[in-house]
């Protein structure tokens, strides 16, 4: 296929710290070296959140919703190991408890999600919700008629500018004609139309990486929303992807400037309600940890905010 599947040992460098990890635990803080869709989204949401996740690597509590998403993704990926005729809703539902057990064995800290659930009722409800999400997938796509070219594909590329982009694509389908479709599963609900552009940003990011790796613009980007039973598609063009590249370069410049100066501004929004770092956030009366990287004074005062207006 010609994909870059350089293994992801460095992929965690731009990811959030695992619970219990963090530079305060002795790990050496390093400047960010690459951009993934999630971390780009973090910086656009709130630069200080990006700092907490990427540079300080502050621990975060496991989330039941995110963990359920991981279980559902694992089932949708592994179901394709079975022959087409066996990819049924019954088979897929039956895989959910095993996928949870496997994840728990890999990440024992997730047990804390159900630590106060002695009777197991919450776990049973949570597993049933995951099974319902898996089952809904069959009303949106027919896995007996699909043979993905790639599943959970790690992609990485370096743009001419030197910016390294990386990420994981849930599924890549390649038609006999060679046309590529990139598919991403979401366990939440589809966004309202006015927010669709934000949802497509991640997909255009992947499309740009695939274009740079293979020299072919993906024919279709497809977001499958299991929470609401919607499918959002978009057929990108080269101009779209050049626009995404410019946006990512501006974003990366802003991240590098903040990294050098240590000037990571909080940007409070409704999403703060889901942020694990309020205790360290000045917007909530907290104090950030001592900045672990060397600071170089900015002589371009206000430049970060100016750039952020463009990204
Ligand atoms: S609480 Fe809000 S403003 Fe503060 S770091 Fe988190 S997302 Fe940013």
Segment 120-173, tens digit of pLDDT: 999 999 999 999 999 999 999 999 999 999 999 999 999 999 999 999 999 999
294 CB under 6 A from ligand 1? Answer: no
Tokens representing residue 118 in the block = 């002695």
Q: Check residue 26 and give its pLDDT.
A: 58
Range with lowest mean pLDDT among 83-87, 198-202, 281-285: 198-202
Average pLDDT of the chain is 89
Of 167 and 305, more confident: 167
SS3 readout for 280-299: HCHHHCCCCCCCCCCCCCCC
Q: Is the CB of 276 under 6 A from ligand 1?
A: no
The distance from CA 303 to its chain's CA centroid, rounded to whole angstroms, is: 28
pLDDT value of residue 23: 58
CA of 93 to the centre of ligand 1 (A): 37
Does residue 278's CB lie within 6 angstroms of at least one atom of ligand 1? Answer: yes
Q: Which atom of ligand 1 is nearest to the CA of 276?
A: 6
Q: Which of 130, 134, 136, 5 is nearest to 79 (CA)?
A: 134
C-alpha of residue 161 to centroid of ligand 1, in Å:
30
Q: Determine the pLDDT at residue 297.
A: 73
**What is the average per-residue pLDDT within 81-101?**
98
Token pair recorded at residue 69: 């998403």
**Predicted confidence band at 195 (pLDDT cuts at 50, 70, 90)?**
confident
For residues 220-232, give the mean pLDDT.
97
Choice among 31-40, 175-184, 190-199 with the minimum mean pLDDT = 190-199
What is residue 5's predicted lDDT score, i.e. its pLDDT? 37
Distance 44 CA to ligand 1 centre (A): 12
Dist. CA 24 → ligand 1 center (Å): 20
Determine the distance separating the centroid of ligand 1 and the alpha carbon of 43, expressed in angstroms: 11
Residue 35's SS3 state is strand
Kindly state the tokens that stand for 123: 């776990």
> How crowded is residue 174: how many other Cβ atoms within 10 Å of its Cβ?
16
Q: Is the CB of 267 under 6 A from ligand 1?
A: yes
Which ligand 1 atom sits closest to the C-alpha of 278?
1
- Range(s) of the chain covered by CATH 3.90.320: 1-22+29-56+148-311
Name the band, by pLDDT with cuts 50, 70 and 90, for residue 193. Answer: confident
**At 28, is the pLDDT very low, low, confident or very high (cuts 50, 70, 90)?**
confident
In this structure, which residue's CA is closest to atom 2 in ligand 1?
Answer: 272
Q: How many Cα atoms occupy the beta-carbon half-sphere of 75 within 13 Å?
A: 31
The arithmetic mean of pLDDT across residues 45-63, rounded, is 96
CATH of 1-22+29-56+148-311, one of 1.10.101, 3.90.320, 1.20.58, 3.30.70: 3.90.320
Burial track 47-73 (b if 16+ CB lie within 10 A, e otherwise): bbbbbbbbbbbbbbebeeeebbbbbbb
Give the ligand 1 atom nearest the CA of 266: 3
Ligand 1 centroid vs 281 CA: distance in angstroms? 6
Instruction: Say how many Å lie between the CA of residue 48 and the centre of ligand 1.
Output: 7
Helix count and strand count (H, E) for the chain: 8, 5
pLDDT at 15 over 80: no
Q: Per-residue pLDDT for 18 more than 80? A: no
Strand ranges, E, within the chain: 150-158, 164-174, 180-186, 220-225, 230-234
């Amino acid at each position: 296929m010609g994909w870059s599947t350089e293994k992801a040992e460095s992929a965690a460098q731009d990811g959030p710290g695992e619970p219990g990890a963090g530079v305060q635990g002795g790990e050496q803080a390093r400047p960010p070296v690459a951009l993934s869709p999630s971390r780009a989204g973090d910086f656009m949401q709130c630069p200080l959140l990006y700092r907490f996740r990427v540079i300080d690597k502050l621990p975060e509590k496991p989330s039941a919703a995110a963990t359920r998403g991981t279980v559902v993704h694992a089932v949708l990926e592994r179901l394709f190991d079975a022959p087409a005729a066996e990819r049924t809703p019954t088979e897929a539902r039956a895989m959910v408890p095993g996928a949870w057990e496997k994840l728990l064995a890999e990440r024992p800290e997730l047990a804390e999600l159900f630590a106060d659930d002695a009777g197991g009722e919450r776990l049973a409800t949570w597993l049933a919700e995951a099974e319902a999400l898996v089952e809904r997938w069959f009303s949106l796509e027919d896995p007996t008629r699909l043979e993905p070219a790639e599943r959970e594909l790690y992609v990485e590329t370096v743009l001419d500018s030197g910016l390294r982009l990386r990420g994981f694509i849930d599924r890549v389908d390649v038609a006999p004609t060679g046309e590529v479709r990139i598919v991403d599963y979401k366990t939440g609900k589809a966004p309202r139309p006015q927010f669709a552009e934000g949802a497509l940003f991640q997909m255009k990011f992947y499309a740009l990486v695939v274009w740079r790796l293979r020299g072919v613009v993906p024919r279709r980007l497809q977001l499958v929303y299991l929470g609401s039973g919607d499918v959002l598609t978009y057929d990108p063009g080269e101009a779209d992807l050049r626009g995404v590249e410019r946006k990512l370069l501006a974003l990366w410049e802003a991240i590098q400037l903040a990294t050098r100066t240590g000037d990571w501004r909080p940007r409070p929004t409704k999403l703060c309600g889901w942020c694990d770092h309020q205790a360290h956030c000045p917007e909530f009366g907290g104090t950030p940890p001592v900045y672990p990287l060397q600071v170089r004074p900015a002589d371009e005062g206000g430049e970060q905010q100016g750039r952020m207006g463009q990204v």
